[in-house]
Amino acid sequence: MANEIENDPKVETTPADAKPEGAADAGTLAAVAAERDELKDRILRTLAEMENLRRRTEREVADARTYAVTNFARDMLNAADNIRRALESVPEAERAGAAGAFKALIDGIELTERDLGKTLERHGVKIIEPKGQRFDPNRHQAMFEVPDAEVPTGTVVQVMQSGYVIGDRTLRPALVGVAKGGPKPAANPADAA
């Protein structure tokens, strides 16, 4: 009878140490769960890395747009300086009394200077007008000190050459003369913070 049951295909027999088909080994289950957790962690890290890369790329593209004209703008500053020198070479008395072709020449040079300044500003290049401001080594280059007891020490009192910034970066520092010997500058509340 035992042989009949063993040979009958309709009756299933399982060895005593066999486990049911749906039940998984606890070790295998733990290994699969650990692998799942590891893959989930790797996916989350990859997503975070991709987001950081996207932000960094956006920042680099914005910087590239803002500062792409830096070298060209720096070269154009020489032209702006030469135009300014041309205007300053004509004494004020002669400029006021100019007539005819000479007046037209001076007006044309002034118009060219204004147009160049507007074009530079349109591309993010702005002039620094430091006269009367506190000396800032990031924006100004001190050429000499001027003894002046009435102006606080470290105040820009003379501008030899205008400076320029592009965005928040200094394109060319202003060449300045700085006051010396005056009263100490008042403490700036922003510096104390």
Q: How confident is the model at residue 19 (pLDDT cuts 50, 70, 90)?
A: low
Instruction: Say which residue, 3 or 115, is predicted with more confidence.
Output: 115
- CA-CA distance, 193 to 191, in Å (whole number)? 6
The pLDDT of residue 125 is 92
- Give the helix ranges, DSSP H, for the chain: 2-7, 26-67, 70-88, 92-96, 100-122, 189-192
The pLDDT of residue 100 is 87
Instruction: Say which residue, 20 or 37, is predicted with more confidence.
Output: 37
Of all residues in the chain, the percent with pLDDT exceeding 90 is 50
In DSSP terms, 114 is beta-bridged to none
CA dihedral sign of residues 145, 147, 149, 151: negative
- CATH number for region 125-186: 2.30.22.10
In the numeric block, which tokens belong to residue 167? 């965005």
Domain boundaries, the chain: 125-186
Instruction: Share the mean pLDDT of the chain.
Output: 84
Q: How confident is the model at residue 13 (pLDDT cuts 50, 70, 90)?
A: low
The pLDDT of residue 192 is 46
